[in-house]
Amino acid sequence: MKKDAPKPSGKKIDGIYEGLPYVGPPLNLKTDDPSYMLPRKEHEITVRIYMMNNPADVKEYEKVMHEVGRGWAQISHEDIKWIERHETWKVLLRVLHHKYIEPEDMSRAQKS
């Protein structure tokens, strides 16, 4: 009689953890891992000016807005001004980015 393969006792973390971006090496977690073996939540603040006549700025601004829409980031200040001489909008944006980083204990890090 053939035995069933053992069921996985955890999950692989690579890119997203608990609905937020995970920045770090891939992890193979077990369901009973203590907190020091789990990814740590961190917040990063960015402040940037976007000139909306610059395609690279528009693309980056859209990327940040997608992060806000997904709940990965939160706008803490936005100031929008029309710049007549350039006939464009200037956007000052301060954003709080939510993410997970590698755990204190890296013993569950996936080996390359």
**What value does the CA radius of gyration of the chain take, rounded to a whole number of Å?**
20
Give the start-to-end residue ranges of the domains of the chain. Answer: 10-101
Residue 1 has pLDDT above 70, yes or no: no
Specify the pTM.
0.78
Closest C-alpha among 53, 57, 56 to residue 85: 53
Q: What is the pLDDT of residues 30-53, one digit of tens each?
A: 888 899 999 999 999 999 999 999
Matching residue, tokens 């890296």:
106
Please compute the mean of the pLDDT values over residues 22-36 and round it to a whole number: 90
Between β-strands 27-30 and 20-23, what pairing exists: parallel, antiparallel or unpaired?
Answer: unpaired
Question: Are 93 and 77 spatial neighbours (Cβ–Cβ below 8 Å)?
Answer: yes
Closest C-alpha among 44, 39, 46 to residue 100: 39
